[in-house]
Amino acid sequence: MQKQQKTGFTFIELLVTATIIIVLSVIGAVSFAKAGQSARDSRRRADLAMVQQAMVQYKVNEGVGYPTGDFDTIVTTLQDEDTRYLSPGAIEDPKNDATYFYACTGCTTTEFTLSATLENDGSTLEFTNP
């Protein structure tokens, strides 16, 4: 009598394969999330640099010093229809379309410090007057 050969995969082989696929999927998802955080942090850096340049232009052109107030007030001043140092809607937090990540501390007519909280490592990025 001849033995029948069994074809197919054993349960253990299927389990190992499924585990490998799950581990690779998790690694891919984490890497994708980190890439998104890095991209949003790059946008925050660019936003602060844009506001810094606009504030310097404002001081030079208006001759009254830097705009003062909290971050939202300063951005509104720089987006004024008459002066238009910033385009409307140009400065919004890339994660949720709000500016809560941004702040202006010590903003006076002679000096300023713009800051943003970075997502990737939780650190604070700061731009000061040149």
Q: Which of residues 109 and 1 earns the better pLDDT score?
A: 109
On the CB side of 23, CA atoms within 13 Å amount to 6
- For residue 1, pLDDT over 70 is answered with no
In the three-class reduction of DSSP (H, G, I as helix; E, B as strand; rest coil), residue 4 is classed as coil
Report the candidate in 99, 102, 100 with the shortest Cα–Cα distance to residue 89. Answer: 99
Q: Does the model's pTM come out above 0.85?
A: no
Mean pLDDT of the chain: 86
- The residue count of the chain comes to 130
Distance, in Å, from the CA atom of 12 to the CA atom of 50, rounded to the nearest integer, reads: 57
- For residue 3, pLDDT over 80 is answered with no
- What pLDDT does 90 receive? 80
Rounded to an integer, the average pLDDT of 91-107 is 75
Which one-letter amino acid corresponds to residue 87?
Answer: S
Q: Which of residues 83 and 11 earns the better pLDDT score?
A: 11
On the CB side of 111, CA atoms within 13 Å amount to 4
**pLDDT per residue over 32-67, tens digit each?**
888 888 888 898 899 899 999 999 999 999 888 999
**pLDDT per residue over 18-30, tens digit each?**
999 999 999 999 8
Burial class (CB in 10 A: 0-12, 13-18, 19+), 37: middle
